[in-house]
Amino acid sequence: MKILVINAGSSSIKYQLFEMPGSTVVAKGMVERIGEPKSRLICVFDGKTHTSEQSIPDHEDAMDLILNTLVSKNLGILHNIAEITAVGHRVVHGGEEFTGSVLIDDRVIASIEKFADLAPLHNPPNLTGIRASIHKLPTAKQIACFDTAFHTTIPQVAYLYGLPYEIYEKYRVRRYGFHGTSHRYVSRRAAVLLAHPTDRVNLVTCHLGNGCSITAVKNGKSIDTSMGLTPLEGVVMGTRTGDLDPAILFYLADKGYSIDELNAMCNKKGGLLGISGKSNDMRNLTELAEKGDKRAQLAIDIFCYRIKKYVGAYAAVLGRLDAIVFTGGIGENCPHIRAGVCSELDAIGAILNPAKNAAKLAKEDDIQADTSRVKIFVIATNEEAAIAEDTYLLSK
């Protein structure tokens, strides 16, 4: 069975074509800069990367280009587009309605539209990708896989805020959490590495990229997570502030800042970029810090410190901690960040092996010392494979 996995953003569509079962990636790529004069398609197939530039006005045209590329005689990926029997779509926000992946129908589309209020930067483009896919592949089953679904097991004690209860009743203001597909994937892989059943593992999973979230996983289920109503809450991120005293915003509003300015400050101008004044990219900050840039080093130190606080807090919540898992672009590729987070975690039984941490790692590896009671894993996330698996199971 051929399954196409789609991740539609505001100006891009990432895609992977899987052969199922087995989760074999046949081809993958993306269309970027949709709506700009020089849009670009990238397709990786049979070990070669193919690119083309042209004007792609909208997501409908982007889907056309992806599908035409997959059936291109020059590449020979597919003979016919009808070989794609199902499409799995990443959808960021499913609110409280969706506890897992679902077959898309009119009711699901209406719900995704409704939750666009809570994820205005993500759900609308996700929905655009769904509609374009339905139009272009009318006979394929369409499956929605929600980032929030893994976190629907979080109890009220963890997801309610200290606001009047009627705010939750009226507007469903609560902690939802994100990166759920990634946290679920690495949790299951960690269970395999630990040789434990999935429902017996206690973990702290750290998804660290431009967006970051930390999750407490108890007996295989999410019981708390750092992101909240929106992806803004939690640890310091690339351009997001993470946790801050909400009175700061009232104070700045009194100083003349508009709601739009405050929104931009918190979501697009804060975090590593705001602290360093130079970059939101950890690679750039690392280079700058090595050259003596004090604010770049400060940004890195704050980043590690905030993550460490969450790891310690979640270890306390879990009671028994089997492993800490690092994943995402930073988590998988930045040994100095892992070292910074794990320093002085002896009290919770987590001790890093510096040599293992600094070595070239496999896609799944452990980096703890022999004396460490808690395992420390680096696991490459694979959200697309998780979406493909869900899509396959719901399409059989």
Just list the catalytic residues.
147
What's the CA dihedral at 165, 168, 171, 176 to 10 degrees? 160
User: Burial, 76: exposed, middle or buried (Cβ in 10 Å; 0-12, 13-18, 19+)?
Assistant: exposed
Determine the residue type at 76.
Answer: G
* Residues 264, 220: Cα–Cα separation, whole Å: 36
Contact 314, 224 (CB under 8 A): yes
Contact 321, 345 (CB under 8 A): no
* Cα→Cα distances 242→32, 167, 177, 200, 203, Å: 28, 22, 13, 31, 22
Q: Which tokens sit at 116?
A: 């666009």
Contact 201, 323 (CB under 8 A): yes
User: Burial, 147: exposed, middle or buried (Cβ in 10 Å; 0-12, 13-18, 19+)?
Assistant: buried
CB atoms within 10 A of CB 290: 11
* Residues 385, 111: Cα–Cα separation, whole Å: 25
145: CB partners within 8 A, 6+ apart: 88, 89, 90, 91, 101, 181, 386, 387, 390, 391
Which residue spans within 20-147 are E strands per DSSP? 24-32, 39-45, 48-54, 84-91, 102-103, 141-146
